[in-house]
Amino acid sequence: MAGGMAMLMRKYTEDEERGKVIGIALGAAGIGAIAGPPYGSVMNAFAGKATTFLLLGGIIAAIGIFQVFYSRLKIERKSESEKVTSLWKLLADPYIILAATSLMLVNIAFGIFNSGLPAWLIQRFNSPKWMLGLAFIPVCIGYALTTNVLSFIPMRNMRWLVALVGTYMSVAACLSLPFSTSFAATIGPTLILGIGYGLIEVNIYPILAILVDTRHKSDYGSVYAIADISICLGFIIGPLLTGSLLQLISFSWVLWMLTIVLFLFAPFLVFLKKPIQGKPDQETESLLNGSVSAKNVEE
């Protein structure tokens, strides 16, 4: 995903264009997420686990072979003047860390949701196995619709605010889901969670590109690698928290604990409203060059 996002950012340099292509890319991911849970639950219940993965693996292999023959790979070497900011300097940027933390926290919520919801549905509503995948359809629909719709709305100066709203929507979803009284009642909270998830991702990705453009030498691959690491950490921490805490407290309290963390973190997104601009690397180079020239003049 990092490579694909970096390619899009290099090709589309205007914020409005970037919003559109990122929305389309994330919307396609949302469509895959919509099809995944129902496909897995129905196929696993009626065709068996082996058939489920064999069919999916065959489709992925066919797409991979097509991409190898269709894509034209080329290695480009950059000169010293074109070298970009290192990964470690990007990790030292507090704005990038703030945006990446936002992605991590919302994916922790999604990871807790994915790992704990099926067992909670069986325990609370005695839901059959084939229905468990259907519970994920609202969140995926909310995510896909949000990313596709927002891709056509220019929001350069409002992205931080929309991400803030998405975080609070995730708070509302995690807070209200445990109060559901039936399987159908879970549709509302899960739909809100999907919308909040989409609002955050479709705005944080362009913000990361803006931060690289305004504060560093452009290197979209590294900054989106940081974003992918944050997402992966979220999907690791979420299930780990669910597995370790589910027996000690409950699925409801795991969600409510996360709600507190998200609620306290959300106001920090205000700092993404007007990040301090300037390219640290170039400023350092100019200062060094200035000091060298001054010494030469004195001599």
Per-residue pLDDT tens for 221-276? 788 888 888 888 888 888 888 777 777 788 888 888 889 999 999 999 998 887 77
Q: What is the pLDDT of residue 172?
A: 92
Distance CA 147, CA 162 (A): 12
Q: What is the pLDDT of residue 296?
A: 45
What is the three-class DSSP state of 283? helix
Q: What is the pLDDT of residue 3?
A: 64
Torsion sign over Cα 227, 228, 229, 231: positive
Output the six-digit token pair for 244. 């370790």
Q: Where are the alpha helices (DSSP H) in 71-136?
A: 87-91, 94-125, 129-132
Q: What is the pLDDT of residue 268?
A: 92
In the chain, domain spans? 14-73+84-283
CB atoms within 10 A of CB 243: 12
What is the three-class DSSP state of 13? coil
CB atoms within 10 A of CB 140: 24
- Tell me if the domain spanning 14-73+84-283 has CATH number 1.20.1250.20: yes
The DSSP output letter for 79 is: P
Closest CA to 7 of 198, 209, 176, 166: 209
Tell me the one-letter amino acid at 274: K
Q: Taking a C-beta distance cutoff of 8 angstroms, is the pair 8, 21 a contact?
A: yes
Output the six-digit token pair for 269. 């997104």
pLDDT per residue rounded down to tens, the chain (299 residues): 666 676 777 766 676 676 677 767 776 666 666 666 667 767 776 777 777 778 878 888 887 787 777 766 565 565 545 566 677 888 888 898 999 999 899 888 888 887 788 888 888 877 777 677 777 788 888 888 888 777 677 676 788 898 999 999 999 998 988 888 888 888 888 899 889 888 888 888 888 888 887 877 767 778 888 888 888 888 888 888 877 777 778 888 888 888 999 999 999 999 888 777 665 544 444 443 444 344 444 44
Q: What is the pLDDT of residue 110?
A: 82
